[in-house]
Homo-oligomer: A and B are copies of this chain.
Amino acid sequence: MSNYTVKRTIIGQLERGTDLHNGITRIVQEHGISVGRVTGMGAVQRAILAYYDQKTMTYENIALNGPLEIVSMYGNISTRDGKPFAHVHVVLSDERGNGKGGHLIAGGTPVFACEVTIEEFDGPPLVRGFDERTGLALWPENTQL
């Protein structure tokens, strides 16, 4: 368990056509944000999300065709492979208002419009490493609450 304070909050938008995950990754790496939180809203032209199969320990992609609202985007920022890494989930909705959701991957999700708020936190580093039990890149054991 570690305590953090908010260092700064960045607000802005992603350019139309930018891949959503790649765009966020570029921002957090350019600004050297090693611990943080990302939230946002907007719309995408289409999306590829991922669902983690807890048995096979692999991500399976879900292609969502057609324009979708980004109802909410939530993610955290920590370090993976020596670089700032954003772990992001999104809730999307279609033209009938049906909710979709999942883990955002790099590629396949071009932005139509996206308004983003990124909070950078001051505090101990948060570094991801391979966790055998889940097959995921998780934070270390001493971050258990």
Contacts and interface: CB of A to CB of B under 8 A. Distances in A.
Interface of A: 1-6, 8-16, 23, 27, 35, 37, 39, 41, 43, 45, 49, 51-55, 60, 62, 64, 67, 69-72, 74-76, 87, 89-103, 112-113, 115-117, 121, 123, 126, 131, 133-134, 136, 138-139, 143-145
Q: Which 4 A-B residue pairs are closest in the complex by CB-CB distance?
A: A99-B99, A93-B101, A71-B101, A12-B145
Per DSSP, chain A at the interface is: strand
A102 to B, nearest CB: 5
Contacts of A60: 95
Number of copies of this protein chain within its complex: 3
A133 B16 contact: yes
Contacts of A103: 69
B2 A10 contact: yes
A53 B95 contact: yes
